[in-house]
């Protein structure tokens, strides 16, 4: 998983676990330029809420104070980094833990295996990554089957029929992730629907309720969240026991049983994969098809690559690395959509960025959404242009941010694989068309998601 970059949820998680609500004795975070706390108890929390999202708050913060800036959450000083150079300086000495997994588990109240030292952390991380990789290898035909069912459904639509991307692609992600993570029990649509209900309840509160404090102020919402979390955990534990008794070795949970993890740890890893895997896979696919629908030229170029490399054959795992332009399309989707606009970690040891000293245990924000649309790093940053990734400088910057290369988190690799199967199947059979007059608004919380349902139309390729 990314050591520093995937999911804005990492910020929220650190918030919940680390905020001390003590009034700061210093008015600046180690002398780093930034905002004074506007409230004795909450620091700059209300400023974040007023901006509408943490991402929008960070955009304004870095516009005013530069690429290294500070603010307060409660009594805790926070440092935000808003350029590739500063992020590179900070991450290189701080690769010892996995911020996303550690902090997501902290928010969920999971403590098992979190204090066992660096070696145990690395072993568990490798087990988790290996489980996802093996699951994709063992179940790639299932991914292809689920995608082909969706494309077949779209082919049956009249040319003028409006197709809802969010509804269909979240369904695709749910079916794919649950079956690959937990097995054939989730071939049953009623199981998937029940899973989705609890998944949505948990994820929506992680994304919103913890950030603005509203969850703690509503006993009914908190009760709903805790009930959904309890039900989800019960389902995951039940599935794990069933799979262990059956001694199967085909899906994610089966691979975990081959390690020395406890039953509780296996349930926790299943929770992380299913929560994160569904959301990032769905939104990567949603944004990719939306952007493709806006450019016939990009669709045609992708179609030609698919024809040249795949011909009439379905895509296979060994052919995916050859689809260079498809990779560029997905990279540019992540960048243009600011798919994961914010991440964070706690400073483990005293560090330094430029001339600024960052004390141990400081909360450090990675303002990825700011960096992904920084005009100093990307030419015409608001334009969807997959060709930009033909340039070595663009690929290097993307890799430094953790969105490609060896440091890419396994959930994002999983999402790229599903999205590649979707694009390679869909684009060879259908053309995508944007609806006239549709305006896309983005909700930048944990993952950049369309605020409302996104519609396109499709037509058969002649």
Binding residues for heme, by number, are 409
Residue 403 to residue 412: CA distance in whole angstroms: 8
What letter would DSSP give residue 184?
G
How far apart CA 108 and CA 74 sit, in angstroms, is: 21
Between the alpha carbon of residue 98 and those of residues 2, 123, 224, the distances in Å are: 7, 12, 29
> Bridge-partner residues for 457, per DSSP?
433
Please say whether the beta carbons of 299 and 424 come within 8 A: no
d(CA 443, CA 60): 17
Sign of CA dihedral 105, 108, 110, 114: positive
Residues 6+ apart with CB under 8 A from 113: 120, 121, 124, 261, 265
Contacts (Cβ under 8 Å, ≥6 apart) of 335: 372, 373, 378, 398, 403
Alpha helices in 205-339 (DSSP H): 210-212, 214-217, 219-246, 252-257, 263-293, 296-310, 324-337
Query: Comparing C-alpha atoms, which of 149, 124, 203, 173 is closest to residue 414?
Result: 173
Q: Are 33 and 71 in contact (CB under 8 A)?
A: no
136 by DSSP, 3-state: which?
helix
Strand ranges (E), 44-124: 68-73, 76-81
State CA 350 to chain mean position distance. Answer: 28
CB burial of 394-403 (b: ≥16 within 10 Å; e: otherwise) equals bbebbebbbb
Which residues are documented as binding site?
409
CA 195/CA 180 separation, integer angstroms: 14
Are 154 and 428 within 8 A, CB to CB? no
Q: How many Å apart are CA 422 and CA 323, to the nearest integer?
A: 13
Do the beta carbons of residue 208 and residue 218 sit within 8 Å? no
Q: What share of the chain is helix, strand, coil (3-state, %, to 5)?
A: 60, 10, 30
């Amino acid at each position: 998983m990314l050591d520093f970059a995937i999911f804005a949820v990492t910020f929220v998680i650190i918030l919940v676990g680390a905020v001390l609500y003590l009034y700061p004795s210093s008015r600046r975070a180690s002398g780093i330029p930034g905002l004074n706390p506007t409230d004795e108890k909450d620091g700059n929390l209300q400023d974040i809420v007023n901006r509408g999202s943490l991402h929008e708050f960070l955009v304004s913060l870095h516009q005013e104070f530069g690429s290294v800036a500070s603010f307060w959450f409660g009594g805790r000083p926070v440092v935000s980094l808003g350029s590739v150079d500063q992020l590179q300086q900070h991450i290189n000495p701080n690769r010892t833990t996995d911020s996303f997994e550690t902090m997501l588990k902290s928010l969920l109240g999971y403590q098992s295996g979190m204090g066992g030292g660096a070696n145990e952390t690395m072993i568990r991380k490798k087990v988790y990554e290996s489980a996802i990789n093996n699951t994709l290898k063992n179940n790639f035909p299932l991914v292809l089957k689920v995608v082909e069912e969706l494309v077949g459904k779209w082919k049956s639509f009249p040319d003028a029929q409006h197709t809802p991307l969010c509804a269909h692609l979240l369904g695709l992600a749910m079916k794919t992730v649950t079956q690959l993570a937990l097995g054939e029990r989730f071939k049953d649509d009623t199981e998937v629907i029940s899973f989705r209900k609890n998944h949505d309840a948990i994820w929506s509160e992680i994304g919103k309720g913890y950030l603005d404090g509203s969850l703690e102020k509503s006993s009914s919402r908190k009760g709903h969240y805790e009930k959904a979390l309890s039900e989800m955990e019960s389902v995951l534990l039940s599935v794990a026991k069933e799979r262990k008794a059956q001694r199967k070795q085909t899906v994610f949970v089966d691979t975990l049983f081959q390690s020395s993890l406890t039953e509780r740890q296996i349930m926790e890893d299943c929770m992380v994969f299913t929560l994160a895997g569904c959301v990032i896979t769905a939104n990567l696919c949603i944004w990719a098809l939306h952007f493709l629908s806006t450019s016939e030229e990009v669709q045609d170029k992708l179609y030609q690559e698919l024809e040249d490399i795949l011909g009439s054959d379905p895509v296979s795992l060994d052919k995916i690395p050859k689809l260079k332009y498809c990779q560029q399309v997905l990279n540019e989707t992540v960048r243009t959509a600011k798919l994961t606009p914010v991440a964070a970690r706690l400073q483990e040891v005293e560090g330094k960025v430029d001339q600024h000293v960052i004390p141990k245990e400081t909360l450090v924000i990675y303002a990825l959404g700011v960096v992904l649309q920084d005009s100093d790093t990307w030419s015409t940053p608001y334009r969807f242009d997959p060709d930009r990734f033909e340039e070595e400088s663009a690929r290097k910057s993307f890799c430094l941010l953790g969105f490609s290369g060896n440091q890419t988190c396994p959930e994002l690799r999983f999402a790229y694989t599903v999205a590649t199967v979707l694009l390679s199947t869909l684009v060879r059979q259908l053309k995508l068309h944007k609806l006239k007059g549709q305006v896309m608004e983005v909700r930048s919380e944990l993952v950049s998601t369309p605020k409302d349902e996104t519609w396109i139309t499709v037509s058969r390729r002649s």
